[in-house]
C-alpha cells in the first residue's frame, strides 16, 4: 500500500520540468498553502501525541492495574499479625494469584507520608496492614476470594481497584478517541484547504488552460501541472510543521517516575517517535487527491 502510494507520487512528481513551467509561478498563494500545510502538520503532531499517550494510559490502567489487588486487614492490634498470616495462607491456595506479600511498616509509612508527613510515628496509630496481590494472566475469582476471606479473616477487605479504575480507563479511551478524531479532522481540513487553493489557482489560470486545450493538451497533462505543485507544497509545508511540532514535544517538561502523570507523559515513546514521520507523506497524498478531484471537476466543465 505504502509502496503503491510512493510510486504514484513519484510518477506524478518526476515528469519534465517543462510541464511545470506551463503554469505561471504564483508567489503569495503558494506561501499560504505552505503555511497552512505546516500549521496543520504541527497540530497533527500534538493530536497524535495526545492519542498515543491516552492510549498508553488506557492500556496501563486497563491491563497492568487490573492484575493487582489489595487486601486491607483492619483488626485489633493483637489479632492483626494472626489475621495477616491467615489471609496470606488463603492467598497461597487461591487460583489465579501469582504472588502476595504483606507490606512492611516502612513501605506503609512511605505510602502515607504524602498525607501525614514523614515525622509521624505510625506505631502509635491503628493503621491497617496492606497485602499486595499480583494476579496471574488468567486473573482470579474476586467474589470467591471475598467469601473465603469473610469466613476465615473477618478483618480483611479485598479491593481489586475496579471502582476507581473503570472511570479512568473510560476517560483515557475517550481521550484517545478524541485525539484520533482530531487527527482525521486535521486531514479533512487540509483536503478542504488544498481544494480551495487549487480551485483558486485553476480559476486564475483560465487562459493558460484554454491555450493548452487549444494546442492539444489532455486533461491529464493540464491537471498534472497543478497536482504536482500542490502535492509538493503540502509535502514541504507539512515536513516543516512536523519538525517544529516534534521539537515542541521534545521540549515538553518531563516528570520522573514518581511524579509522572498524564500531562508530563504527553509525548512519544520508543517506536511511536516514527509515527509523526508519516504526516508529510500523508499530507502530500491528501493534497494529491484533493487537487486531482478539483482539477478534474474544473476541466470537465470547459470546452
Interface residues toward another protein, by CB under 8 A: 16, 18-19, 21-22, 24-25, 207-208, 210-221, 299-300, 303
- Closest approach of another protein to the CB of residue 20, in Å: 11
The span from the CA of 113 to the CA of 109, in Å, is 6
Q: Indicate the residue among 72 and 296 with the shorter CB distance to another protein.
A: 296
Q: Which of 32, 48, 37 is nearest to 288 (CA)?
A: 37
- Closest approach of another protein to the CB of residue 296, in Å: 10
Q: Indicate the residue among 76 and 216 with the shorter CB distance to another protein.
A: 216
> Could you identify the residue written with the cell 492467598?
91
Q: Indicate the residue among 78 and 300 with the shorter CB distance to another protein.
A: 300
Q: Indicate the residue among 211 and 252 with the shorter CB distance to another protein.
A: 211
- Closest approach of another protein to the CB of residue 235, in Å: 24
Q: Indicate the residue among 97 and 217 with the shorter CB distance to another protein.
A: 217
* Residue 25 DSSP code: P
- Closest approach of another protein to the CB of residue 228, in Å: 15
The span from the CA of 62 to the CA of 213, in Å, is 61
CB atoms closer than 10 angstroms to residue 60: 15
- Closest approach of another protein to the CB of residue 209, in Å: 10
Burial letters 210-239, b for 16+ CB under 10 A, else e: eebbeeebebeebbbbbbbbbbbbbbbbbb
The span from the CA of 158 to the CA of 55, in Å, is 28
- Cα distances from 85 to residues 73, 91, 122, in angstroms, run 10, 10, 21
- Closest approach of another protein to the CB of residue 214, in Å: 6
Q: Indicate the residue among 36 and 209 with the shorter CB distance to another protein.
A: 209
Amino acid at each position: 500500500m505504502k509502496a503503491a502510494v510512493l510510486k504514484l507520487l513519484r510518477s506524478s512528481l518526476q515528469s519534465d520540468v517543462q510541464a511545470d513551467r506551463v503554469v505561471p509561478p504564483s508567489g503569495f498563494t503558494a506561501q499560504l498553502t505552505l503555511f497552512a500545510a505546516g500549521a496543520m502538520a504541527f497540530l497533527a503532531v500534538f493530536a497524535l501525541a495526545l492519542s498515543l499517550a491516552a492510549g498508553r494510559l488506557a492500556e496501563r490502567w486497563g491491563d497492568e492495574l487490573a492484575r493487582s489487588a489489595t487486601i486491607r486487614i483492619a483488626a485489633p492490634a493483637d489479632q492483626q499479625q494472626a489475621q495477616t498470616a491467615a489471609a496470606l495462607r488463603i492467598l497461597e491456595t487461591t487460583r489465579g494469584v501469582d504472588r502476595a506479600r504483606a507490606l512492611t511498616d516502612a513501605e506503609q509509612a512511605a505510602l502515607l507520608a504524602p498525607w501525614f508527613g514523614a515525622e509521624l510515628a505510625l506505631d502509635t496509630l491503628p493503621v491497617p496492614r496492606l497485602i499486595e496481590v499480583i494476579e496471574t494472566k488468567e486473573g482470579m475469582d474476586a467474589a470467591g476470594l471475598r467469601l473465603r476471606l469473610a469466613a476465615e479473616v473477618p478483618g480483611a477487605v479485598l479491593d481489586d481497584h475496579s471502582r476507581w479504575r473503570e472511570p479512568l480507563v473510560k476517560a483515557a479511551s475517550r481521550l484517545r478517541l478524541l485525539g484520533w478524531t482530531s487527527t482525521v479532522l486535521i486531514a479533512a481540513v487540509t483536503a478542504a484547504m488544498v481544494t480551495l487553493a487549487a480551485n483558486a489557482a485553476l480559476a486564475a489560470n483560465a487562459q493558460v488552460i484554454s491555450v493548452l486545450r487549444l494546442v492539444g493538451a489532455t486533461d491529464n497533462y493540464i491537471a498534472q501541472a497543478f497536482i504536482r505543485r500542490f502535492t509538493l507544497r503540502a509535502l514541504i509545508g507539512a515536513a516543516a510543521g512536523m519538525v517544529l511540532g516534534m521539537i515542541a514535544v521534545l521540549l515538553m517538561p518531563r516528570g520522573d517516575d514518581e511524579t509522572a502523570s498524564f500531562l508530563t507523559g504527553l509525548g512519544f515513546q520508543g517506536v511511536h517517535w516514527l509515527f509523526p514521520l508519516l504526516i508529510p507523506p500523508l499530507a502530500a497524498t491528501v493534497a494529491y487527491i484533493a487537487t486531482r478531484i478539483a482539477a478534474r471537476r474544473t476541466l470537465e466543465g470547459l470546452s
